[in-house]
Amino acid sequence: METIEGTVENIIFQSDDRQFCVFRTKCTSLGLVTTVYKGPAPFMGEMIRARGEWTQHARFGRQFSVTGYQSLKPGSAEGMERFLASGAVKGIGKAMASRIVAHFGKDTLDILGKAPERLAEVSGIGAKKAKSIGEAYNMISDLRELMLFLEENGVSGNYAAKLQLAYGDTAITRIKANPYSLITDIDGIGFKTADRIALSLGFEPASEERVRAGIGYALTLAASGGHTCIPEEELLRYASQVLQIDFTDVETVFRKMIANDQLRTEDWGGQRFVYPEYLYRAETGTARMLRALRDHPDSLGKVNVEKIIGDWEAEAGIELAEAQKDAIRSSLKFGVFALTGGPGTGKTTIIKGILSVLKRAGCTVLLAAPTGRAARRLEMAAGDKAQTVHRLLEYTVTGEFGKNADDLLETQAVIVDEASMLDIYLFYHLLEALPLGCRLILVGDVDQLPSVGPGSVLKDIIRCGKMPVVRLQEVFRQAEVSPIVRNAHRINRGLLPECAADSDFSMTEFADEEMAAAYITDLYAAATKSGGWQSLQILSPMHKGPCGVQNLNSLLQDRVNPPSARKEEIRQPGGATLRLGDKVMQIRNNYEKDVYNGDIGQIADISGKAVKVWYPERPDGEYVTYGDGETDELQLAYAMSVHKSQGSEYSRVVLALVPGHYIMLQRNLLYTAVTRAREKVELVGTKTALQTAVANDRTRRRYSLLKERLQESGDL
């Protein structure tokens, strides 16, 4: 780390969310320095001392990348005037700044802070104006003091604005009293940041406040790992590792929290499980509402099920297998029903059949899926409107669901496709919005990767033995000819896929991971040479490493869309570069823009700070525009993780499979990856990595008691 000191000459760029800025600093020995900081910009004319490191940007040259800075009082009258003229202090413009500094000279800032009433001595400033200027100056002084306090305690000063908004002028006092309150009070501040402040302020490592926060953090980490709960012993051991203190110190505080009813627990099978409050409510509520829906389906009146099925078969020109007929019968008979099966087993046909038969029986039916791409696939397959579960529930940007127990969905049946992607929290909110008597049909491949969020909803419903389930196992003749379908089922049975160079399922071996990455780059470049960027998708199990998503995206961007004078670029807050023509992916649902997590498009225009993206699945000529501060919703999509590909389908898939991915090489991940392809799968890597993935069926257990809660619900 190096340190520079100087005066802020001008602000080149400041993002709307104040999380990224570029400015020029005038240093005595270095001259003008382009300075980059992930946080709010300082004021023009302000003197700063910044620490960071020198970097070389491909387009903008040498820059000083700041990790933190502190504000210094301007050392000259000229500096003070520039500072006040910058608009930093509300009510002072350029002319007034000149008059104030001319009158008070080097004492200007002391007057502003300690005796603002004296500003009335300056021509054009009355007593009322002097008072408001003094208040405005004190506000930014408080902010600068807070920034300095944070920086001195090892935390970025860019949190200062949020803290001042939440705590006002008591911010420093309240933080000193209990830094861990920041975790719940301030969005974006987690345990690690709060802990850094606390330890810097002298809090004891085993203090009760720290241990309580550490236990909460350990529960949060467990949830991010897919668990809805965690055994007590495991939680305490994990918390002691996180906090780097003795197990007994954690246990003492834990017992106190239990006695004070500050933690949610459940005793089961001789173990005590601990929950975050919201997941306890979601899991217990899910079990209760599933039982109610299962046991109280609305009567369909006198319905001749076999005739309705027969009529639909004749109309569709197909003959259903007995398991497929069972699935349709179950959707009419039961309030909750799960349908699962691998590729080629006819799940899409059954969704059409269930939809048609339910409608013929007089039901209104809604279709949904967890992601936007999955919803669009469902809509195309079923020939009826489908939407994301979030949109179905009228989810808002504030994190609330418009459809809930107080405002139920108006429907008699809901079909959810790709149900293996449902986490317990979203599923709970879906159930909460269903009227009693509504039929719920869950369709998905239970052998794929589980949801990104906590829980294993579909698997628990299927395994509990108390919910109606049909598992499709017969692969139909038209699907059998596909090597992708054949090999997917082989992988699922623990057998190696059959790869052949001249088939639609091949493997190219490379022992060297950098050579594998170079080959994937060549492969993609050749496949997309004629502009067909939609024809091929690169997948990888991990983000890091030579064959990880990040490096592959960097290599592919440089190869197929290199920089040029004709291509505009924009730098994202995180430092990545987006370029005209880049293949990009939306990484979270945006209902205002009608674009969803996993949607893939191409950058069609960059004008200033605005980026336009063309998504091929939208109407012709309709673009999505991302304004300043919104491009963090996009990331390069030449390559993506297997997890991100869930719910999507591509013509051709290339999967990197190398020993460096060892920690992620699991059968369900490989199975999920190959079933994303419609026409062709190419594996690139080593047979050792492939064998490891196929053999590893020991998927990491997800702690959840949903299955056990459902098993208490009595027989069907």
Name residue 10's beta-bridge partners.
24
Q: Where is 191: in which H helix or E strand?
A: helix 191-200
Name residue 15's beta-bridge partners.
none
Q: What is the C-alpha separation between 634 and 613, in angstroms, rounded?
A: 10
Q: Which two tokens stand for residue 707?
A: 């299955």
Q: What is the C-alpha separation between 236 and 440, in angstroms, rounded?
A: 39
User: Binding site residues for ATP, as ranges?
Assistant: 344-348
CB 706 within 8 A of CB 269: no
Relative to beta strand 264-268, strand 386-388 is unpaired
Concatenated DSSP letters of 631-695: GGGEEE-SEEEHHHHTT--EEEEEEEE-GGGGGG--HHHHHHHHTTEEEEEEEEE-HHHHHHHHH
Residue 668: strand, helix, or coil: helix
Q: Which amino acid is at 421?
A: M
Concatenated DSSP letters of 260-305: TT-SEEEEETTEEEEE-HHHHHHHHHHHHHHHHHHH-PPP--S--H
Q: For the chain, first and last CA: distance in Å?
A: 66
CB 679 within 8 A of CB 651: yes
Cβ-based neighbours of 361, under 8 Å, separated by 6 or more: 300, 303, 308, 332
Relative to beta strand 600-607, strand 583-586 is antiparallel
Q: Which amino acid is at 439?
A: R
Helices 247-259/232-243 angle, 10° precision: 120
Concatenated DSSP letters of 327-345: HHHHHHH-SEEEEEE-TTS
Relative to beta strand 2-14, strand 623-626 is unpaired
Q: What is the C-alpha separation between 136 and 140, in angstroms, rounded?
A: 7
CB 34 within 8 A of CB 24: yes
Q: How many CB atoms lie within 10 A of CB 535?
A: 15
Residue with tokens 């495991």: 234
Residue with tokens 């809604």: 366
Give Cα separations from 266 to 230, 280, 526, 577 (angstroms).
Answer: 10, 9, 56, 48
Residue 614: strand, helix, or coil: strand
Q: Which amino acid is at 304?
A: N
Residue with tokens 């108006």: 410
Cβ density class 66-96: b for 16+ within 10 Å, e for less = bebbbbbebeeeebbbbbbbbebbebbeeeb
Q: Which two tokens stand for residue 126?
A: 């009355």
User: Binding site residues, as ranges?
Assistant: 344-348
Phi/psi region, residue 519 (left: phi>0; alpha: psi -120 to 50; beta: rest), is alpha
Q: Which two tokens stand for residue 557?
A: 């961007």
CB 367 within 8 A of CB 379: yes
Query: How big, in percent rounded to 5, are the helix, strand and coil portions of the chain?
Result: 45, 20, 35
Q: Which two tokens stand for residue 365?
A: 């039916």
Q: What is the C-alpha separation between 646 and 40, in angstroms, rounded?
A: 36
Q: Which two tokens stand for residue 627?
A: 């304004």
Residue with tokens 């491909």: 58
